Each structure stands twice: as C-alpha cells, then as structure tokens.
Amino acid sequence: MPTIVVATGNAHKVTEIAAALGAALDSPLAGVRFIAVHELVGAYTDPVEDGASFEDNAAIKARAAQAATGLPALADDSGLVVDALNGAPGIYSARFAGVGHDDAANNAKLLAELEGVTERRARFVSCLVLVGLDALLPGQPDYLAVCGACEGRIAAGPRGSNGFGYDPLFLPDVAPGRSMAELTLAEKTAISHRGAALRQLLTHLNAR
C-alpha cells in the first residue's frame, strides 16, 4: 500500500492527518496509508528541533523520518502563540513546562503566566512540511510547506475532554462558548490550525 510516514509519536495527529488527506475523494492522497514513524522504526530517535520557526522544525522532523524509513514523510510543527506573552510558548509549546512534562503541566504553567491578565488573545499555528512525495506521485514537489492558524483566546481554566495539548484552554473565535476540547474531531478539523494547513496542502497538491 502506498505509504506516507508521519513524523510524530502522537496518534491524535496521525488520525487528523489521515482523515483530512487520505479520506477526501478529491485528494491525490486518497487511499494512501499514513503511519507514525515510531510504528515503523522501533528504535527511532526524535531529532533535535533546533529551528527558529515552526516550518524549520517541521522540516527537520520530516527529513529525519524520510531518512529513517526511505518513505515520503510528513511532519507538523505547531504551537500556541499568546500575545500577552510576546508570542510564547510558540515553538516551545510542547515543552513549555520543561522537557519531560505533560500537557497538564504545560497548561498549568500557561495559566500561571496569565494570572491577572485580562487580554488573552492567542492563536494556534501549524506548519506542515511534506518531503519526498515525488517518489510516490511523479510530478508532485520534493518539498512542500504550508501553514495555517486559528484565532481565539485563552480561557480561565480547562474545559472539555476531547483533543490534546492546549485544547482545553483555547476558545476559538469561530466556536463561541466552547473550547477546542469541547468540539468533535470533525468540528475541530474544520476550524483548527492544522485543519487550515491540511486544506492548504490539498489545494497545492490538487493544483499540480
């Protein structure tokens, strides 16, 4: 089966990506299998993400997964950008509370940093980098990068049990009264930063 390896250990991301790219009937990637790199390479070591931007880090991850598997690779680097924190946590979103800490610790640190702050504008940003697709689909680019965003604000406390990361704290503008973690997967994909990036990716692929 044609396969694209996804440079992540997060099963939620693989599910979102496969639903957006592999299930759409008009997608050049319909029928392609998306699988996490850690499922293919048992001893896989994540590369050091020392880029200066979301795209830089996504490219680092995609190239590493491609080198480890010999397959086309897709990587996402995403994070939360909070205006009141001068853009933090930004590219450090996954390790905001320190290396080895979980989502709950990151969320707790974010709330602590925003204690007493009334202006809580923020946005989720996602950059996707797809490398090596030309080996699977001739005529497609070897390197393709797209970015998407979702505007909103930070809640006073966590709400909802869906999603992951900062979803329980993020109140998207386009879903008034609900956090990202209170949306279904379909609702989230339709409005999320990663959903926006995935739609841009499809647009670019369909234009080739």
- Rounded Cα–Cα distance for residues 160 and 170 (Å): 10
Q: Check residue 25 and give its pLDDT.
A: 67
- Rounded Cα–Cα distance for residues 184 and 34 (Å): 21
- Rounded Cα–Cα distance for residues 72 and 66 (Å): 6
Is pTM beyond 0.85? Reply is yes
Provide the residue-wise pLDDT of the chain in tens; the chain has 208 residues: 899 999 998 888 898 888 888 876 678 898 899 999 999 998 899 999 999 999 999 999 999 999 999 999 999 999 999 999 999 999 999 899 998 889 999 999 999 999 999 999 999 999 999 999 999 888 888 999 999 999 999 999 999 999 889 999 999 999 999 999 999 988 987 898 988 999 899 988 888 7
Q: Check residue 48 and give its pLDDT.
A: 93
**Count of beta carbons in the 10 Å neighbourhood of residue 102:** 9
Q: Check residue 160 and give its pLDDT.
A: 95
Q: Check residue 129 and give its pLDDT.
A: 98
Is the four-CA dihedral 169, 170, 173, 178 of positive or negative sign? negative
Q: Check residue 195 and give its pLDDT.
A: 86
Q: Report helix, strand or coil for 56.
A: helix
Q: Report helix, strand or coil for 146.
A: strand
Catalytic residues: 77
- Rounded Cα–Cα distance for residues 149 and 124 (Å): 6
Q: Cα–Cα distances in Å, from 3 out to 13, 29, 155? A: 16, 9, 39
Q: Check residue 154 and give its pLDDT.
A: 98
